[in-house]
Amino acid sequence: MKMKYLIVIYTLFFICSCAVNPVTGKQDLVLLSESDELALGRKTNEEVLKQYTIYDNPVLQNYVQNIGSKLAAKSHRANLNYQFTVLDSKEVNAFALPGGYVYVTRGLMAYLNSEAELAAVLGHEIGHVTARHSVRQHSATQLTNIGAVLTSIFVPGITQASNQLVQFAGGALLRGYGRTHELEADRLGAEYLARTNYNPEAMLDVIRVLKNQELFDKDLAKAEGREPRTYHGVFSTHPDNDTRLQEVVATAKTLSEAGKTNYVGHDEYISLIDKLVFGDSPRDGILRGRQFFHEGLGFSMHFPEQWNVSNQPDRLILNPITGDALIQISTDNLNKSLSPRDYMIQRLQLTNLTNESALNINGFAAHTGISLINNKQSSIAGRFTVIYFQKRVYIIAGMTKDPDTLAKYDKTITDTAKSFHALTNDEKILAKPLRINIVKAKNNTRFASLAKQSPLENNAESQLRLLNAKYPTGEPVNNSLIKIIK
Ligand SMILES: [Zn+2]
């Protein structure tokens, strides 16, 4: 395996040590030929679609694909076959893979307010593709990582592969490429907007949308004791970014065809996102206050007050603000020949159980016990509970670094496990997702009064303003279409 690894790196190095950059026309030191780049994109796309689900709305998918294709046709690499995909994720994000795979989350689409803004997001991502940023970034600094990425994506299925993808994606694709590449992507995006007769100023509007998100999230993160989210790291860098961005947009404006109007498309866009799912998707489970509902799996649980909840594809992670404990909830297919206790011992390999008891949790067979795990890497004191429900087993693992800390949290962890129950008919109604609803503002419509009727938690008034590009203090304009959440 190791030998193969080295061969891959060197082969790439000798075959394609130079390539003409499609944007600058100059020679770049890049390690990937175009066909390698396309192969990398195809394989990484498969990995992305293992982690994300495509949003189920063909009309919206077509709309995004059409706008993307229009922009791409006027780009520096019009020969590529671009694919634009709306992902069913509440994250506010957009990213691109080498070779022309561009993704935008429904989470980001919820906050955009015009077709031109959507085009600006897509244009920016196309810019990363046409300037070959991921390829250049990796050739410049991460020789070995290219080998790692290629190896991992050609050998899918191993744990390491997904870690490598996260590393690759986390390093460049999701967090951005550094300020120089980001500004270049903005410049290219603005240029593609102008060439397709969208108003290039939409680029500034999108940056404002994301900047306000970040300002709001900073306050929210502080209250929730977590790190604030960032989009492509755009805002934490130089203070002159705004000026440079303004220049980029002004230059792009001169490229618009004479006599063509600068299209914005506010009403068209927001009518199209009417009924768009907002926040948690029912497929992943929905959190209302402290109650968690999972319609697909048919269960509900109550989570501890003020603990942060992270809903990941294969597990739920709960953390107190102090960060000295976590509860992980995961599920597995049930092997019926095992009792809950035997499952803990044989499948989870918890051989040194103490404080054990067999439980009946709301009608379902369960077992609980404490286990101390000590090895070279870590020492963990854990309260483990397994529950048999329908054809699956649910594993609720409360973990701390030592027995004293576990004692402090033991009741909270046990109460959380014991709250597990089958979804009731009343809860099935609550398990429905929130959706964007488009309404017409009246003369006296104010965000404060809309917030009072809103199901949004955590400062509904500010969230409604963010959704409608009126943060921090704006109000709806009479007769305009606005987004509310229902
Ligand atoms: Zn970017």
91-113: per-residue pLDDT in tens? Answer: 888 888 888 999 999 999 999 99
The Å distance, Cα 94 to ligand 1 centre, comes to 8
Average pLDDT over residues 121-132: 91
The Å distance, Cα 166 to ligand 1 centre, comes to 17
Please report which helix (H) or strand (E) contains residue 406, including its range. helix 403-418
Contact predicate 471/212, CB 8 Å: yes
The Å distance, Cα 463 to ligand 1 centre, comes to 24
The Å distance, Cα 201 to ligand 1 centre, comes to 17
Within 13 Å, how many C-alpha atoms sit on residue 176's CB side? 20
273-327: per-residue pLDDT in tens? Answer: 999 999 988 888 899 889 999 988 999 999 999 898 888 767 888 988 888 899 9
Please report which helix (H) or strand (E) contains residue 182, including its range. helix 179-195
Spatial separation of the C-alpha atoms in residues 322 and 125, rounded to whole Å: 37
The Å distance, Cα 237 to ligand 1 centre, comes to 14
Contact predicate 123/208, CB 8 Å: no
Average pLDDT over residues 57-82: 97
Structural domains in the chain, sorted by start: 2-272 (no CATH), 286-428 (3.40.1000.10), 433-485 (3.10.350)
The Å distance, Cα 222 to ligand 1 centre, comes to 26
Which two three-digit tokens encode residue 202?
């939409």
Range of weakest confidence among 264-268, 454-458, 474-478: 454-458
In this prediction the pTM is: 0.78
The Å distance, Cα 13 to ligand 1 centre, comes to 27
The Å distance, Cα 27 to ligand 1 centre, comes to 22
137-154: per-residue pLDDT in tens? Answer: 544 333 333 322 222 222
